[in-house]
Amino acid sequence: MAANEPRTPALRRGAWRSGWYGAAHALPSPNHGPRPADSAVSLIVVHSISLPPGEFGGDQVQALFTNTLDWDAHPYFQQIRGIEVSAHFYVRRDGTPWQFVSCDDRAWHAGASRFRGREQCNDYSVGIELEGLEGGQFEPAQYATLARLCRALARRYPIDAIAGHEHVAPGRKHDPGPGFDWPRLRRLLRWPAGRFAEGALG
């Protein structure tokens, strides 16, 4: 099996096993670690990513998260050469979800971050990357998958907030950006406004 080939989900759709979600293609990343013992999973952080920026449909994101990206395949990759990052989930333009790290573990997605006075968001959050360009538009299928995933996470973990990378690392990060429709996601989730980062809903 190639490094970036998905493992067919073995779990019933919507089921969980040790932090792995049955509806997602599982492709384990080495870029993770244990959560602090006292850190409950209470936050969802939404990101956007495409490699190279603005190009969709390839397997470069999967390769990045599994440390198998060919750094010489595109000039842009020299800017990120050698980084070791991951997210828990990645949602393709067609809505297909991938998972790289168990939600019971700490993925390396938010970096230096702070939310509602609490530092180190990686310790207590789940990171979800959407295939897209920072500031660009996202597909209906992605919103639908994201909403299903958020609901599934909230059933398993004590999720009480959702934010963008731009909200937890303001000035340093700007994704998913102004093209992401937070009110649309709220309508799909039917979550109270207080669960969303300040400024997300306009």
| Domains present along the chain, CATH in parentheses | 22-195 (3.40.80.10)
Is 84 in the active site? no
Q: Summarize pLDDT for 66-113 with one digit per residue, the tens.
A: 999 999 999 999 999 999 999 999 999 999 999 999 999 999 999 999
pLDDT band at residue 130 using 50, 70 and 90 as cut-offs? very high
Angle at 66 between CA 63 and CA 69, to 5 degrees: 35
Question: Catalytic residue among 5, 55, 84, 129, which?
Answer: 129
> What percent of the chain is modeled with pLDDT above 70?
93
Tokens of 167: 């909200």
C-alpha dist (Å) from residue 31 to 71, 108, 194: 17, 6, 32
Average pLDDT over residues 32-51: 97
CB 99 within 8 A of CB 88: yes
pLDDT(3) > 80: no
What gap in Å lies between CA 90 and CA 168, rounded to an integer? 19
What pTM value is reported for the model? Answer: 0.93
Give me the sign of the Cα torsion angle 97, 133, 74, 88. Answer: negative
pLDDT at position 6: 43
